[in-house]
Amino acid sequence: MRAVVQARYGGPEVLRMGDREAPIAGQGEVVVRVAAAGVDAGTVHLVEGRPALIRAIMPLRGGRVPGGDLAGTVHEVGAEVAGLQRGDEVYGVAEAPDGSLAEFARVRVSRIAAKPMGLSFAEAAAVPTSATAALRAVRDAGRTSAGDRVLVLGAGGGVGHFAVQIAKSLGGSVVAACSAGKAAIARASGADHVVDYRREDPLARGPFDVIIDTGGHRPVRAMRRALSHAGALVVVGSEPEGAPLGGITRSLGAAMADPFTRQRLVMLSSSEDAEALRDLAALVEAGELWPIIDREFALDESAEALRHLGHGAGAAKTVVRVA
């Protein structure tokens, strides 16, 4: 099969198009013929090997195919797989080292679900990782309910624009903070108010019942001051370049302070599974969730896709067309 191959850690320039043996479905797995693959900040981190600990715990022996999110059709069904058959349209997350930037990818049945009706393959590939993180942040960790005032920091990004939509679906009133260049994305996602963080401090509009922090590097103490007495702060990610722990410094600080306050301070831990993918599909089919795609690239343009995505510079979602 044709695939993007990564033999060493580094920038997008380390990626090469090549031929690779197609994966074989193991027990509890399927092989998907990939139509489209979604890429995000996590893909960039894994290609670059950030933080440095990644290079130690995930050595590139023999290379690998990068990418996780995908949408396509089931090509091969492994042993002990029920409810899926060849030709089914699905979306989910590929199993390393057989990533999604390839014509075929191996996927556990626990991380795959039927493609949402009404979405193209490219749109479906934009959903799994980012929308799952938003769902876990807004619904599960933030416990957003009708009437809550919700602030989404980084509302023009991949997780952020889904967080706005999910908060609205739960009845929240949403203030979306992003740069002026991404304001249209936040508005299209249904935000009640959009704030250009370069001209106005969005925290000044508090108090908020829920703050979803996906970008901006703001200190935890500053965000806590903008919370109601029993509000929830969910730190999804975003750290300055070169942060030694690679994006969890503030998350750890929030988790350590949580036992000593009435506020809920949550370090988000998100993983994709079939149940979350089915919940997201239900939101899509109800018209309450929709991916916004900023750019699409061809498979042989995958390096350029990651370069475009950059370090927090990408807007909404970036997708690679495979078929």
Does a structural domain hold residue 273? no
Q: Which residues contact 256 (CB under 8 A, 6 or more apart)?
A: none
Binning pLDDT at 50, 70 and 90, where does residue 314 land? Answer: confident
Does a structural domain hold residue 252? yes
Does a structural domain hold residue 203? yes
* Tokens found for residue 84: 């899926």
Encode pLDDT of 212-257 as tens digits. Answer: 999 878 888 999 999 999 999 999 976 555 555 555 767 777 777 7
List the 227-235 sheet strands across, edge first: 193-196, 173-178, 149-153, 208-213, 227-235, 264-267
* Tokens found for residue 92: 């989910």
Residue 121 sits in the same domain as residue 57: yes
What pLDDT, on the 0 to 100 scale, is given for residue 56?
A: 78
Give the Cα separation of 221 and 237 in Å (integer): 16
What pLDDT, on the 0 to 100 scale, is given for residue 287?
A: 97
Encode pLDDT of 100-141 as tens digits. Answer: 999 999 999 999 999 999 999 999 999 999 999 999 999 999
Does a structural domain hold residue 282? no
CB 47 within 8 A of CB 9: yes
Binning pLDDT at 50, 70 and 90, where does residue 53 land? Answer: confident
Residue 146 sits in the same domain as residue 239: yes
Residue 7 sits in the same domain as residue 111: yes
Does a structural domain hold residue 307? yes
Residue 90 sits in the same domain as residue 160: no
DSSP letter string over 249-260?
A: HHHHHHHHHGGG
Q: Which residues contact 287 (CB under 8 A, 6 or more apart)?
A: none
Q: Helix (H, G, I), strand (E, B), or coil: what is residue 16?
A: strand
Give the Cα separation of 51 and 48 in Å (integer): 8
CATH code for the domain of 230:
3.40.50.720
The residue among 286, 281, 266 whose CA lies nearest residue 168 is 286
Give the Cα separation of 15 and 7 in Å (integer): 8
What pLDDT, on the 0 to 100 scale, is given for residue 143?
A: 97
Residue 141 sits in the same domain as residue 252: yes
What pLDDT, on the 0 to 100 scale, is given for residue 310?
A: 77
Does a structural domain hold residue 283? no
Helices (H), the chain: 41-48, 53-57, 121-125, 128-135, 158-169, 183-188, 220-225, 249-257, 274-285, 302-309
CA dihedral angle for residue 316, residue 223, residue 190, residue 116, rounded to 10 degrees = 50
Give the Cα separation of 163 and 302 in Å (integer): 26
What pLDDT, on the 0 to 100 scale, is given for residue 262?
A: 83
Phi, psi of 30 (to 5 degrees): -130, 160
Residue 27 sits in the same domain as residue 96: yes
What pLDDT, on the 0 to 100 scale, is given for residue 260?
A: 76
Residue 44 sits in the same domain as residue 102: yes
Q: Name the more confident of 271 and 100.
A: 100
Residue 157 sits in the same domain as residue 211: yes
- Domain count for the chain: 2
Residue 110 sits in the same domain as residue 170: no
Does a structural domain hold residue 72? yes
Residue 205 sits in the same domain as residue 225: yes
Binning pLDDT at 50, 70 and 90, where does residue 311 land? Answer: low
Show the domain range for 26. Answer: 2-127+291-321
Residue 102 sits in the same domain as residue 135: no
CB 8 within 8 A of CB 14: yes
CATH code for the domain of 38:
3.90.180.10
- pTM for the predicted model, two decimal places: 0.92
Does a structural domain hold residue 286? no
Encode pLDDT of 21-39 as tens digits. Answer: 999 999 999 999 999 999 9
Residue 49 sits in the same domain as residue 31: yes
The residue among 264, 262, 261, 266 whose CA lies nearest residue 251 is 266
